[in-house]
A and B are shown apart, each in its own frame.
Chain A
């Protein structure tokens, strides 16, 4: 009996040993003094490409510091992993994450290295800092470029039908009717990737702000809501309208963003409400996307106030749990430098302007980036609501799918979203909710 127990114990010990030896931890400093930084990014192609270039070119200039890129799933699933790892003190040294409202939920004061006043921020444009700031302290540097959220359109289709980029929603609808009459899908929707359904609402914020300048402040305070602000509810109405008019592609409910982009580039669809950043990874397979695809902001009611909503670049942050804060800061300083922007340009076409002083778009920038730059030069842009307010309801993407599929009337969708927002504000523990 004793022996059989001992055998079992030995067997277990052997198993445990085998298990232990098969996984190593990677952050120990090596004998020769080189330091390895782990760098967590989401697994979208554009991010991964950018991160790899940053890591490689940085190590070339700093041979004593190696950067290992680690990936995580994107979307809310990724948010969760980031939160769990931060709260359990198990974050990678450096990580790539959204700026704006999503950053607030990470409790940066407790989990990230404070960069306020640090030379790391030397090249970062001042107007970027608010989206990586909490409680007056700055925590990140911009990753990649700012992007436009609006309508990507196929310029070949426009040329063929003699259309011009609309400045009001009525013009947009008229264009859609003509495109449909020609046998092309006017508006591409890809609700399998639910996040893509939010563009009509989130991308409309420039128009909301044009009509109600204080919306963001009042919304954060809980006094303005989507359902009671006609300009804010318009986004939901647009969504319902394109569906009701039959302007959507067939099978929009199970289409993916990848299919949507393909439709757009091949000219099977004319418009795709989307973020401009989705375009560059496509260039490898469809080089014509660089010139054929243009961008315009979601049109509002007043042609004189035509403009677009932009998304600030995500941030790159240092986890407080890092053992190599100095190496990490060196890496961040490099990321926020014109040299890094140039290196990235060679691999990933920028989809919008940089937030780094001295970093420029290359001369052969893609059409989408040029169109976006034109809005910025005109001063006709507003950041998306999530960069002005810490509150973003998590269920928006499901609500917009329901409204955009004709399952929920727009007014009801807006009201549902207000409830969702209230829930988020309460969970964030904001004042006055």
Chain B
């Protein structure tokens, strides 16, 4: 009896969760593969025809294949920014956690400020111009790194708190110190939280559209989210293409997720929770 009731409750919870989370995604997918007439109804129905290939080709070839260029740009942007964030934030989080003092307090304050203060666009552009980095991918990469550091430092700091200091001391007795200690001993131990940082940051950067809009303007340099943003008005009457665009640009984060799926919880267990 009890088991039966439990199974019933479980089934109900499953049904609700499936409805709430599955329906919007099925809606995106279904609309993406309809023809434009049926897609215009914007209802939840089975496609009457399946112009999948045609829709894909139309979206990809729009505006001189801007989407393909955008894929390249977004990939370079995401990989480079995340790599830099991981290295910089892991080192900073490590010292921040291990070494108290006035500099530590200041660093702590700056990290929190980074979470709270909204970035100032125009002075940042001036600065990038002065450095010759405005409208270049390296410039945008630095911007993403600077804006993403705080969050990553917090995660690393929390994780490192769980690594016993005895480990450092043992390593020091073996003759490791400073950078060697960090890169040889500590960094390999950070793998779970590194994966969490990689996943959250790459999703955030890949999905960012505000910063590319300001720091990397121009059709040549578009990132995928900017193309979606521009397609919004271009496809205002072709919902199937708009949703096909959404589906296409959601594939890379989906792949990343499938790849890292099992590791996310492990990283969280180790990192964020011990806050």
Direct contact of A and B (CB under 8 A): yes
Within 8 A of A (CB), among B164-218: 179-180, 183, 213-214, 216-218
Judged by a CB distance under 8 angstroms, whether B136 is at the interface is yes
CA gap between A71 and B129 in the complex, in Å:
22
CB pair A71 B87 closer than 8 Å: no
Question: Across the interface, which residues of A come within 8 angstroms of B214, CB to CB?
Answer: 81, 84
CB pair B234 A45 closer than 8 Å: yes
Question: Across the interface, which residues of A come within 8 angstroms of B121, CB to CB?
Answer: 84
CB pair B72 A22 closer than 8 Å: yes
With beta carbons under 8 angstroms apart, the residue of A8, A16, A43, A81 that contacts B233 is A43
Smallest beta-carbon distance A91→chain B, Å: 10
With beta carbons under 8 angstroms apart, the residue of B126, B141, B234, B236 that contacts A19 is B141
CA gap between A16 and B137 in the complex, in Å:
8
CA gap between A43 and B222 in the complex, in Å:
14
**Are A19 and B136 also in contact (CB < 8 A) when A44-B233, A73-B230, A285-B237 are?**
yes
Within 8 A of B (CB), among A18-47: 18-20, 22-26, 43-45
CB pair A16 B138 closer than 8 Å: yes
Closest chain A residue, CB of each to CB of B213: A81
Interface string of B228-267 (1 = CB under 8 A from A): 0110011011000000000000000000000000000000
CA gap between A322 and B219 in the complex, in Å:
18
CA gap between A40 and B120 in the complex, in Å:
25
Judged by a CB distance under 8 angstroms, whether A74 is at the interface is yes
Question: Across the interface, which residues of B come within 8 angstroms of A84, CB to CB?
Answer: 121-122, 125, 214
Judged by a CB distance under 8 angstroms, whether A254 is at the interface is no
**Are A4 and B183 also in contact (CB < 8 A) when A20-B138, A24-B220, A43-B230 are?**
yes
Question: Across the interface, which residues of B come within 8 angstroms of A22, CB to CB?
Answer: 72-73, 76, 137
With beta carbons under 8 angstroms apart, the residue of A15, A24, A90 that contacts B134 is A90
Closest chain A residue, CB of each to CB of B79: A15
Judged by a CB distance under 8 angstroms, whether A88 is at the interface is yes
CB pair A19 B80 closer than 8 Å: yes
CA gap between A70 and B218 in the complex, in Å:
7
**Are A8 and B137 also in contact (CB < 8 A) when A19-B76, A19-B80 are?**
no
Question: Across the interface, which residues of B come within 8 angstroms of A11, CB to CB?
Answer: 83
Closest chain B residue, CB of each to CB of A83: B122
Smallest beta-carbon distance B66→chain A, Å: 10
With beta carbons under 8 angstroms apart, the residue of A1, A12, A23, A71 that contacts B179 is A1
Judged by a CB distance under 8 angstroms, whether A258 is at the interface is yes
CB pair B137 A23 closer than 8 Å: yes
Closest chain A residue, CB of each to CB of B66: A71
**Are A88 and B221 also in contact (CB < 8 A) when A15-B83, A22-B76, A23-B137 are?**
no
CA gap between A48 and B62 in the complex, in Å:
14
Question: Across the interface, which residues of A come within 8 angstroms of B77, CB to CB?
Answer: 19
**Are A85 and B76 also in contact (CB < 8 A) when A15-B83, A19-B136, A43-B230 are?**
no
Judged by a CB distance under 8 angstroms, whether A291 is at the interface is no
Question: Across the interface, which residues of A come within 8 angstroms of B137, CB to CB?
Answer: 19-20, 22-23
CB pair B138 A19 closer than 8 Å: yes
Question: Across the interface, which residues of A come within 8 angstroms of B79, CB to CB?
Answer: 15
CA gap between A4 and B188 in the complex, in Å:
14
Within 8 A of A (CB), among B110-152: 121-122, 125-126, 129, 134-138, 141
Question: Across the interface, which residues of B come within 8 angstroms of A12, CB to CB?
Answer: 84
Smallest beta-carbon distance A146→chain B, Å: 23
Smallest beta-carbon distance B225→chain A, Å: 13
CA gap between A48 and B221 in the complex, in Å:
19
CA gap between A22 and B76 in the complex, in Å:
9
Question: Across the interface, which residues of B come within 8 angstroms of A59, CB to CB?
Answer: none
CB pair B72 A1 closer than 8 Å: no
Closest chain B residue, CB of each to CB of A87: B122
Smallest beta-carbon distance A110→chain B, Å: 16
CB pair A73 B229 closer than 8 Å: yes
Smallest beta-carbon distance A75→chain B, Å: 10
Question: Across the interface, which residues of A come within 8 angstroms of B73, CB to CB?
Answer: 22-23
Interface string of A248-290 (1 = CB under 8 A from B): 0000000010100000000000000000000000000100000
Given contacts A19-B136, A23-B221, A73-B230, could you give 15 more A-B pairs where the C-beta distance is less than 8 Å? Answer: A11-B83, A15-B80, A19-B76, A20-B137, A22-B72, A24-B220, A43-B230, A45-B233, A45-B234, A71-B219, A72-B217, A84-B125, A88-B126, A88-B129, A285-B237
